[in-house]
Structure 1
C-alpha cells in the first residue's frame, strides 16, 4: 500500500470517528460521550480514538467543528442563488422550513452551545459559526441587520426544537420588520 493510500485511510478513519461522535453526542449528550462509546459505535478499537484525538475535548471540538461547517455550508448554499434582499428573505424562510427540521441537529446544537458556555475554546468556535452566517447575510443586509436576522434564526431554531415555532407568515413578517424594503 502506498503512503498516500495510508494517509487517505487514516483521514477516513478520523472522519468516521468525528461523524460517529456526532451520532453519540446526539443520542447521549456530551456528558454521555466517551472514547469507549464512540469507538464501539464506530466498530473500531478503543485505541483509534485516542490515536486521532489527544483527549475527549479534542474529539468534541472536531465534532462540533464539523457540525458548524455542515450547517454553515447548507445556509450559504440556500442563500447563494439570491440576488436581492427579498430573495434572501425567501431563502431564509426556506432554510427555516426545510433545512432545520432535524431533531438530531437541534439536539447537537443545544449540546454545542451548552458545552461552549464552559469551554472558551469552543465558545470561539460558536462565535466563528455565527460570524460565518452574518457574513453570508451581509451580502443583502447592513451588518447590524444581518446580526439581528442571524439572532432571530438562532432563536427560532432553539424555539422550534422545544415548542411549536412560528409559521411561515410570522417568519416572513419578522424578516420584513428587521429588513424593510427601501
Structure 2
C-alpha cells in the first residue's frame, strides 16, 4: 500500500501502528471529502433552489473532474467486495437522497440519486460529463416538471 501511495513504508508505520489503522484513516479521509462534496450541493440547493438547472449544473461540474469520477467508480467497485467501501458508498448515496428529499418526495429523491450514480458510471467510460442540456431534460423528467420553452436548456 505504501508503494502504491508513493511513500516509504517507514513513513506509514511511523504514523499507523497497524494496516487496519491506516485503512481506517484513509476511509475517514474519503468520508470527509464526500461530506464536503455533499455540503456543496446542499448549500447550492439552499441558495439557488432545487430546479433541474441547479441539479444538472452540480452533476455536470462534479463529473467534469475525471479523477473524482474514477475514484467514485473505484469505490463502487470496491463496495461490492468490501464492507468499509460499502459504508462510504452508502454514506454518499444516503446523504444525497436525504438532501434531495427536502425538495421532492422520497421516491423521486431516490430516483435522482440512482440517476446520479448512473451518470457517474457513464462519465467514467467517456471521461467527460453528459451534456448539460441532457442532464437538465433528464432531471426535469425525473422530477415530473414540464420544461420551460423559453429556457435555453430546454
TM-score range, shorter chain: 0.7 to 0.9
Whether the 8 Å CA contact 1:79–1:91 is kept in 2: the answer is: no
Unaligned runs of 5+ in 2: 147-154
Unaligned runs of 5+ in 1: 1-33
Change (3 A) 1:125 1:165: closer
Change (3 A) 1:125 1:97: closer
Whether the 8 Å CA contact 2:97–2:106 is kept in 1: the answer is: yes
Counterpart for residue 166 of structure 1? 130
Whether the 8 Å CA contact 1:130–1:150 is kept in 2: the answer is: yes
1:1-182 matches, within 5 Å, as: 34-38=1-5, 40=7, 46-53=9-16, 54-55=18-19, 58-82=21-45, 87-163=50-126, 165-181=129-145
Higher relative contact order (CA 8 A, sep 6+): 2
For the aligned residue pairs, the C-alpha RMSD in angstroms reads 2.7
Whether the 8 Å CA contact 1:39–1:48 is kept in 2: the answer is: no
Runs of 4+ in 1 over 4 A off after TM superposition: 83-86
Higher helix share: 1
Whether the 8 Å CA contact 1:148–1:178 is kept in 2: the answer is: yes
TM-score (norm 2): 0.76
CA distance, structure 1, for counterparts of residue 107 and residue 113 of structure 2: 10
Change (3 A) 1:125 1:87: closer
